[in-house]
Amino acid sequence: MKKVIIVGAGLSGATMARLFADDGYEVTIIDKRDTYGGNAYDYKDRNGIIVQPYGPHIFHTNEKVVFDFLSRFTEWDKYEHRVLANIKGKLVPVPFNLTSLEMLFAKDKAERIKEILIKEIGLDKKVPILKLKEHENKEIRDFAEFVYQNIFYFYTKKQWGFKPEELGEAVMNRVPVYVSYEDRYFTDEYQYMPQNGFTEMVSNILRHPKIQLKLGRDAGKVLSLKDGEIYLKGQLFEGELIYTGCVDELFNYCHGVLPYRSLKFKFKTKKCSSYQKAAVVNFTTSHRFTRISEFSKFTCPPQKKTVIVKEYSKKFKKDKNIPYYPIPTESNAIFYQKYVEEAKKYKHLHLLGRLANYKYINMDIAVKNAMELYEKIKDNLED
Ligand code: FAD
Ligand code: UDP
């Protein structure tokens, strides 16, 4: 049977490794970090709080097939995520909902806007902010402008260095306005956290006699590509290569460095059982950081201490910081296509994951994409 090499032991790579191994293939999975789980990596600190050093990760999905797959590897704790926005010192639910409206407008005005929203959009509907801003009704447009300025504009500029319009739907539709009292950040059918964290879940995915895990190994040092062929330590490699790292790095930046957003995290352990009113507070009109997350509020029972992290968005600088978010603008999509064309020259190379696909995807979609790509590769191998 053909050998398989997977670069990157994040959720995309780990899922792929397991699917191949379950079908009897020998898999080697490498990661340049000393940990597995990619950006979903977490650990328990000395107070028993699960901390996520690459930023807050909440699992949610509507994909039963993804939930069923991951449920083989973890027990779950029910967790419904709620977020508050700090608007000039006032804390209101985000996604912006009818409660947020009532908290920020005088009673009569709030009632009037609520009535129009229900009539024009419909009760229990969700509407993207950029669509609401273009509504034919002026009162709705005025309301949308208020929400845009207080929730989206400043936060998005801080996070991406772009205005909401420049990023378009892929980003802005993630957090719509709710014409309801729904106060959960996600409305997906399955909302759970892995009981002992994501690292343990990924460890269980990778625990298989046919999977060899090698950490602290940079693919660039052992793999090379030339004239449609893949080489491993200088020898022709005739198996399948699944690559989940940055695609520009794989091709030695031959078309230039793709733009990403990076992050800087400032962690603090506080001597109190609760630091803030919600697991995450977004700072939408002030401060240089975008949000504060409090890990003990995710699933942990109350402790004497708590851990918070402030997130600062930064420009990505190659070899200086970590590429966290691909930036989904139109021009970047065109730029990325140049690398897709390079990859097409290699029949046995498959790009997968947030970095190699240059897509702003959640963990469930990373798993789903791995499942779909696996089926495609398997069909080809069996032909
Ligand atoms: P990654 O997790 O990035 O894994 C890629 C792996 O490849 C890394 O371990 C890296 O070290 C390795 N690698 C790269 N290059 C090389 C190389 N040359 N050699 C060897 N190894 C290499 N999703 C959600 O569903 N819910 C959330 O709440 C959520 N919050 C997020 C918050 C932040 C701050 C960020 C950045 C992402 C968040 N996500 C969230 C998205 C989630 O992290 C990703 O969808 C998911 O982890 C993607 O997995 P991946 O395996 O594709 O990529
Ligand atoms: N967003 C915003 N204000 C908020 C929440 C989100 O402007 O209070 C915008 C912002 O551009 C952000 C995007 O919506 O990057 C997606 O938000 P999400 O919380 O999904 O971001 P992530 O957790 O992936 O960083």
Residues 140 and 27 in one domain: no
Q: Does the C-beta of 324 come closer than 6 Å to ligand 2? A: no
The ligand 2 atom at the shortest distance from the C-alpha of residue 56 is 23
Q: Does the C-beta of 151 come closer than 6 Å to ligand 2? A: yes
Tokens 């789980």 belong to 37
Q: Does the C-beta of 328 come closer than 6 Å to ligand 1? A: no
Write down which residue in 117, 146, 179 finishes a domain: 179
- Whether residue 202 is contained in a domain is answered as yes
- Whole-number Å distance between alpha carbons of 283 and 303: 25
The ligand 2 atom at the shortest distance from the C-alpha of residue 167 is 11
pTM over 0.95, yes/no: yes
Q: Does the C-beta of 92 come closer than 6 Å to ligand 2? A: no
Considering the chain, what percentage of its residues have pLDDT values greater than 70? 100
Q: Let me know: does 352 contact 29? Beta carbons within 8 Å.
A: no
Bin 314: left if φ > 0, else alpha if -120 < ψ < 50, else beta: beta
Examine the pLDDT at 360 and tell me if it is beyond 90: yes
Nearest CA to ligand 2 atom 10: 156
Q: Where are the alpha helices (DSSP H) in 234-322?
A: 247-250
Residues 149 and 230 in one domain: no
**Total structural domains in the chain?**
2
Residues 199-226 have pLDDT tens digits of 999 999 999 999 999 999 999 999 999 9
Residues 127 and 170 in one domain: yes
| Integer angstrom CA distances of residue 321 from 53, 263, 314, 318 | 14, 8, 9, 7
- Whether residue 61 is contained in a domain is answered as no
Residues 374 and 228 in one domain: yes
Residues 166 and 111 in one domain: yes
- Whether residue 332 is contained in a domain is answered as yes
Q: Does the C-beta of 171 come closer than 6 Å to ligand 2? A: yes
Nearest CA to ligand 1 atom 27: 57
If you average pLDDT over every residue of the chain, what do you get? 97
Residue 207: per-residue pLDDT: 98
Examine the pLDDT at 300 and tell me if it is beyond 90: no
Examine the pLDDT at 383 and tell me if it is beyond 80: no
- Whether residue 314 is contained in a domain is answered as no
Residue 19: per-residue pLDDT: 98
Residue 129: per-residue pLDDT: 97
Residues 332 and 237 in one domain: yes
Q: Does the C-beta of 5 come closer than 6 Å to ligand 1? A: no
Average of per-residue pLDDT across 78-99: 97
Residue 382: per-residue pLDDT: 83
| Ligand 2 center–CA 174 separation, angstroms | 7
Q: Does the C-beta of 163 come closer than 6 Å to ligand 2? A: no
Residue 259: per-residue pLDDT: 97
The residues that bridge with 60 in the sheet, in sequence order, are 191
- Whether residue 16 is contained in a domain is answered as yes
Residue 23 lies in domain: 4-40+197-257+325-382
- Whole-number Å distance between alpha carbons of 34 and 31: 7
CATH of the domain at 11: 3.40.50.720
Residue 302: per-residue pLDDT: 78
The ligand 2 atom at the shortest distance from the C-alpha of residue 159 is 15
Please report which confidence band the pLDDT of residue 42 belongs to, taking 50, 70 and 90 as the band edges. Answer: very high
Average of per-residue pLDDT across 248-272: 97
Q: Let me know: does 242 contact 350? Beta carbons within 8 Å.
A: yes
Residues 224 and 365 in one domain: yes
Write down which residue in 120, 147, 179 finishes a domain: 179
Residues 336 and 253 in one domain: yes
Residues 274-287 have pLDDT tens digits of 999 999 999 999 99
Q: Let me know: does 77 contact 198? Beta carbons within 8 Å.
A: no
Residue 212: per-residue pLDDT: 98
Point out the ligand nearest to the CA of residue 261. Answer: 1
Antiparallel, parallel or unpaired: β 190-194 and 60-61: antiparallel
Examine the pLDDT at 16 and tell me if it is beyond 90: yes
Residues 242 and 341 in one domain: yes
Point out the ligand nearest to the CA of residue 283. Answer: 2
Residues 101 and 19 in one domain: no
Q: Does the C-beta of 152 come closer than 6 Å to ligand 2? A: yes
Residues 202 and 175 in one domain: no
- Whether residue 273 is contained in a domain is answered as no
Q: Does the C-beta of 155 come closer than 6 Å to ligand 2? A: yes
- Whether residue 309 is contained in a domain is answered as no
Nearest CA to ligand 2 atom 20: 174
Contacts of 12 (CB under 8 A, 6+ apart): 38, 244, 352, 353, 354, 366, 367, 369, 370
The ligand 1 atom at the shortest distance from the C-alpha of residue 217 is 20
- Whether residue 214 is contained in a domain is answered as yes
More confident residue, 136 or 300: 136
Residues 155 and 215 in one domain: no
Q: Let me know: does 85 contact 282? Beta carbons within 8 Å.
A: yes
Write down which residue in 179, 207, 224 finishes a domain: 179
At how many degrees (to 10) do helices 64-71 and 363-382 cross? 90
Long-range Cβ pairs for the range 274-280 (8 Å, 24+): 274/302, 274/306, 275/306, 275/308, 276/84, 276/308, 277/84, 277/91, 278/82, 278/83, 278/84, 278/91, 279/56, 279/81, 279/82, 279/83, 280/56, 280/81, 280/83, 280/84, 280/185
